[in-house]
Amino acid sequence: MDIRGKTIVDLPDQVDTDQIPTVPEVELHSNSSGGFRGPGGPRTPFRGPQGGNKPPMQDMAPINQRTNKKSFKKKNNANYKKRNAEEEKEFQIQKRKQQAAAKLAAVPKSIDMMEVITISDLAKKMNLKAGEIIAKLLKMGMMVTINQQIDHDTAEIICSEYNCKVNLVSLYDETLIVSEPDKDEDLIDRAPIVTVMGHVDHGKTKLLDAIRSTKVAEGEYGGITQHIGAYKVNLPEKGEVVFLDTPGHAAFSMMRARGAQVTDIVILVVAANDGVMPQTREAIDHARAANVPIIVAINKCDLPEAKPERVMQQLSDLGLMPEAWGGQTLFCEISALKNIGIDELLDSILLEAEMLELKVNASCRAEGKIIESRIDQGRGIVASILIERGTLRQGDHYVAGIYPGRVRAMFDDKGNKIEEAGPSTPVEIIGLSDIPGAGDPFQVTEDERQARQVGNKRQELERIGDSRNVKKVTLDNLYSKIKEGTIQEFNVIIKGDVQGSVEALQGALQKLSNDEIHLNVIRASAGAIIESDVTLASASAALVIGFNVRPTPRAQVLADQEKIEIRKYNIIYDVVDDIRSAMEGMLSPEVREVEIGTVEVRDTFKVPRTGTIAGCMVTSGKVKRNAFARVFREDLQLTANKVKITSLKRFKDDAKEVAEGFECGIGLENFNDLRVGDILEVIETEEIARKLETKSEK
């Protein structure tokens, strides 16, 4: 029906029109009272189906029901809202618990780190966001950034909250190059690596001379070995043996430790006339720490004063019981100088090596240890490598310590150029990018890219470790820094022929430091003394020490211009003695008081503008002008400190000194309370040069 018009919709023929309610044919308009009205008439209510008058919305309800439209009751009561909020809160709690459990599951059970680590690296290792670690550090009172370093203890506290264990590892464990696995068919027998150890001048190098039939010791300055030498000896019908010769001087403790770490068997050389010495005990400790067997060679048995039984008794007290006495240690009595007992010693070495069953994989990438490194004139940086596993070939890419490189050339211990070297072979290689440290690991990589990546990462970690050693001034250490300002510094630059000798010399010199004077090594490296060393010495007022090296001509000219002293040495204990003497000269002398006489006051005189003059008798010793005196009255000292004697006269003449039994007149500085009967104790001060007492000697 069109409400605005007067048209009624036509219905089908079968519909009963009598059942349709009658609606007046009027034009309806809505009004505000809820009904309808005509064009000009009064309000006309809506007539329902039964003819009753009902509100329009009530009349429409049955129509809604007929059209199947659903009506919903609005849920806006307070109980429903409260229940909904509690459910949402519980849901959020459970969600956070699930997230925390997932985060905790993502954190590894343990991580490896060095002494220091940055926040970003720690977050990567723990699979966390850096912001979470920073937030925990802020709660601990530490203001940090993402690139800031924290130490091992702080990282351990953070990791403990996530049930994560922290393992402290070295630089090389942090950047590990995965080794190739061994297969049973690849394992072959290898030559034993034997290290000769013992006290200085007990005949270690002489023994190697007898085995190699060379004259090594004659080429060593002072007759002592000052760096590790590696030799491969071919014994006819017996096999091959690799020998390492280590220094016996006390300063080379680190080099002996490295020798014990890379060896299979230790030969302990003990002189039959000297017996067990300090470096002998140290060598035993190094061998036991490395868990390697010991063969004792009692040398110099040909001397008349030789006492091998006494040596065996001393070593048995140290736990090395001879086999002849029921122990397990092999003993051989030899004379390296007269070539006595050498064959028996070699047989003992081969027997011990056979019991060890030394087998190794020779078909994998080479691994080993750096024995020594140096700068060779004309060849550049040269490193001595002892290959422990695999085969090294010319052209291989490797990482030596923290520096990458490529094998450009390779030489054996006799100086012959070779193309490849197998296990238990000492070689010299050239092609290093920088000087590695003695004792650093050597490992061949898959390609140049891996060598550069590992080398750069190790250098970065090395710089991080060095930056940790830089001492920063804080409120906690401010007082100690101020106190350090009164300590004198003795700066030195050390240049040596090989890196191992430089390390040993640096350690020996740094032990000379004490609470009054500090020896500061501002540079220590292998190679000749060059212009940059002289320039650095000029800027820092340092002494340049050349150990088995000399300055270049241009460096010598520059040193003469800058008045820089360059000391050249060939023996390590000469360096230590000279530096000790130089440091003792910088120490303030010890002032000692010496009583030289006693004076009794017999009379006093008042002198205008001078003060009181005492007429005295020298009762013992003598009195000197410009000496000092202590005043005693009735055995009580009147002056807290000694008082200077300003005038000394004999009658009217000035005197330098007055001897016992003579009278004199004495005037004291700023002291006029002198009486008859006072005793003056005359004191003279003398300066005594002090000896350098290191911290280890106290």
pLDDT at position 200 is: 78
CATH of the domain spanning 484-586: 3.40.50.10050
- Token pair 């290792």 in the structure block, residue: 125
pLDDT at position 199 is: 82
Q: Exposed/middle/buried for 633, CB within 10 Å: 0-12, 13-18, 19+?
A: middle
Of the chain, the percentage scoring pLDDT greater than 70 comes to 77
Is pLDDT at 131 greater than 80 in this prediction? yes
pLDDT level of residue 571 (50, 70, 90 thresholds): confident
Tell me how many degrees the CA angle 238-240-242 measures, rounded to the nearest 5.
Answer: 140
Q: Can you give the C-alpha Rg of the chain in angstroms? A: 48
Report the mean per-residue pLDDT for the chain.
77
Q: Average pLDDT in the 377-397 region?
A: 86
pLDDT at position 479 is: 54
Question: Which CATH superfamily groups domain 367-467?
Answer: Translation factors (2.40.30.10)
DSSP bridge partners of 578 = none
Is pLDDT at 439 greater than 50 in this prediction? yes
Is pLDDT at 255 greater than 70 in this prediction? no
Q: Measure the CA–CA gap between 199 and 278, rounded to whole angstroms.
A: 7
Q: Average pLDDT in the 7-23 region?
A: 48
Q: Average pLDDT in the 102-114 region?
A: 75
pLDDT at position 402 is: 87
pLDDT level of residue 456 (50, 70, 90 thresholds): confident
Instruction: Write the pLDDT tens digit of every residue in 286-311.
Output: 888 878 888 999 988 888 888 888 88
What lies within 8 Å, CB to CB, of 152 at 6+ separation is 113, 114, 115, 116, 117, 166, 168
Q: Measure the CA–CA gap between 360 and 228, rounded to whole angstroms.
A: 24
Q: Where, residue-wise, is CATH 2.40.30.10 in the chain?
A: 367-467, 590-688
Q: Where, residue-wise, is CATH 3.40.50.10050 in the chain?
A: 484-586
Is pLDDT at 586 greater than 80 in this prediction? no
- Token pair 């400190």 in the structure block, residue: 641
Q: Which residues of 414-426 are buried (b: 16+ CB within 10 A; e: fewer)?
A: eeeeeeebbbbbb
Lowest mean pLDDT among 225-239, 363-377, 414-428, 656-670: 225-239
The SS3 assignment for 77 reads coil
pLDDT at position 470 is: 47
Q: Average pLDDT in the 193-215 region?
A: 79
pLDDT level of residue 80 (50, 70, 90 thresholds): low
Question: Which CATH superfamily groups domain 191-357?
Answer: P-loop containing nucleotide triphosphate hydrolases (3.40.50.300)
651 C-beta neighbours (distance < 10 Å), count:
8
CATH of the domain spanning 590-688: 2.40.30.10
Structure tokens at 228: 């590790």
pLDDT level of residue 484 (50, 70, 90 thresholds): low
Instruction: Write the pLDDT tens digit of every residue in 395-434.
Output: 999 998 888 999 998 988 888 888 988 888 888 898 888 8
Q: Where, residue-wise, is CATH 3.40.50.300 in the chain?
A: 191-357
Is pLDDT at 221 greater than 60 in this prediction? no
pLDDT level of residue 4 (50, 70, 90 thresholds): very low
- Could you tell me how far CA 135 lies from the centroid of its own chain? 29
Q: Exposed/middle/buried for 466, CB within 10 Å: 0-12, 13-18, 19+?
A: exposed
- Asked whether the whole model's pTM tops 0.75, one would answer no
Q: Measure the CA–CA gap between 396 and 426, rounded to whole angstroms.
A: 16
Are the C-beta atoms of residues 405 and 434 closer than 8 Å to each other?
no
- Tell me which range, 63-77, 209-223, 232-246, 472-486, is most confidently predicted by mean pLDDT: 232-246
